[in-house]
Amino acid sequence: MRADGERPESHDWLDDDAGPLVRSFALTGGRAKPGAATFDLLSHVTAAPFAVQRSTIHLQPEHRAILARARDPVSVAELASHLGYGLGVVRVLLADLLEAGAITKVDAPSDHLPDDDVLQAVIHGLRTS
Amino acid sequence: MASEPADGRARPVPTAIKILIAGGFGVGKTTLVGAVSEILPLHTEEVLTSESMVSDDLSGVEGKTTTTVTMDFGRITFGDNVVLYLFGTPGQDRFWFLWDELALGALGAVVLADTRRLADCFPSIDYFERRETPFIVAVNCFYGEQPFEADAVRNALALDPNVPLVMCDVRDRKSGREVLIALIEHVRSLRLARL
Ligand SMILES: Nc1nc2c(ncn2[C@@H]2O[C@H](COP(=O)(O)OP(=O)(O)O)[C@@H](O)[C@H]2O)c(=O)[nH]1
Ligand SMILES: [Mg+2]
């Protein structure tokens, strides 16, 4: 955390929702990938079998950290949160892994919400757990 | 594009349900997410757009300064295969771009209100009305009380009569979970009304 005094004048619109200024894309080599696959917050990714051995790209430690967390399907939001990476960084890393065939991706349907029996089960769970 | 995993050991992809927790700064969003679920911070990057940094070259992200925005992120798992995700929306207007992503595919939203600063939740209500995202209003009763009747709050918010308004204490797990239940019941009744 930086002291308030270090906050540059032009950024004085930052509030408590905003963290320290970072060069967060440094981790991904600053690669933005227009046209690459999209990874929604609730898209799930799963590591492919023998993903590390079979990968067609050089895996950075961050790629490996993702694969280690994705033995079972895991959401993009959870990956970012557990690994402490920003969402943008995670998305670039995931795009690498998808291209390399090291993960598979399943998108959450954005136009179709869960069936009523699922909602009832959730209500029941909220009441009883 | 993606190939099927040949590995039969991987679990099925869970059904993910997304609920947004909105409202003004300091209204109790973080407290609510923490009370009802396992809460984790979730960071996202915003590229700063001060004059000197504006660039037409969208691919030239390298070296640009970004700021981290931290959202509240909570999860509650039901059985093996249903996960409820809660996202606290960042309080400020300039983060609308995040809201659009958050609202996409959301089951609905809880707009938290503080009767001492009711106007703070107007932008959230406007937003969900415009997007036609189902929402309810939950009045956070700071110090266990708030001096207004529900109807007075409804009037002050010019709330559509079909939008539920509930009272809650965001610090209390049971009270917070009742808020989520009220939202899900609202979504169900909207659905039934459409059939
Ligand atoms: N006494 C009291 N304090 C509360 C209540 N809800 C939130 N707070 C406090 O109000 C402050 C702001 O709450 P927070 O959850 O961070 O608000 P957010 O900005 O909407 O995330 C925190 O210090 C909370 O502990 C409440 O119902 N009663
Ligand atoms: Mg907060």
With a 6 Å cutoff on the Cβ, whether B142 touches ligand 1 is yes
Q: Dump pLDDT digits (tens) for B133-154.
A: 999 999 999 877 667 888 999 9
Residue B24 has pLDDT above 50, yes or no: yes
Amino acid A79: pLDDT: 96
In a domain, B6, yes or no: no
Beta partners for B193? none
pLDDT, one tens digit per residue, over A51-61 is: 888 888 889 99
What is the value of pTM for the model shown? 0.83
Q: What's the total number of domains in chain B?
A: 1
pLDDT digits over A5-58, tens only?
333 333 333 344 444 333 344 455 555 555 567 899 999 999 999 888 888 888
* B23 close to A84: Cβ distance less than 8 angstroms: no
The least confident of B106-110, B141-145, B177-181 is B141-145
Q: Is A39 exposed, middle or buried (0-12, 13-18, 19+ CB in 10 A)?
A: buried
Lowest-confidence pick of A8-22, B33-47, B51-65, B181-195: A8-22
CATH number at residue B27: 3.40.50.300
DSSP A9: G
Q: Give the residues across from B86 on adjacent strands.
A: B19, B74
The identity of residue B187, as a single letter, is V
Q: Which residues 49-108 in chain A show a CB within 8 A of chain B? A: 49, 71-73, 75, 77-78, 80-82, 84-89, 98, 101, 103-106, 108
**Local structure of residue B119 (DSSP, 8 states):** G
CA-based nearest residue to B71, from B45, B43, B94, B93? B43
pLDDT of res. A31? 55
Q: What is the Cα–Cα distance from A39 to A57, expressed in whole angstroms?
A: 20
Instruction: Give one DSSP letter per residue of B60-80, joined into a string.
Output: --TT--EEEEEEEEEEEEETT
Residues in chain B with CB shorter than 8 Å from the CB of A55 are: none
Least confident interval from A52-61, B112-121, B169-178:
A52-61
Question: pLDDT grade, residue B48 (50/70/90)?
Answer: low
Measured CA to CA, the distance from residue B159 to residue B168 in angstroms comes to 18
**Domain assignment present for B52:** yes
| Higher-pLDDT residue of B11, B51 | B11
Identify all chain B residues contacting A47, using CB atoms and an 8 Å cutoff: 5
The CB-side HSE value for B106 (13 A sphere, CA atoms) comes to: 25
Closest CA to A81 of B133, B104, B4, B39: B39
Nearest CA to ligand 1 atom 25: B31
Closest by alpha carbon to B44, among A68, A22, A9, A95? A22
The per-residue pLDDT for B60 is 45
Any domain includes B8: no
In a domain, B122, yes or no: yes
Nearest to A90 by CA among A102, A80, A105: A80
**Residue-range definition of the domain harbouring residue B140:** 15-194
Distance of CA A37 to the CA centre of its chain: 13
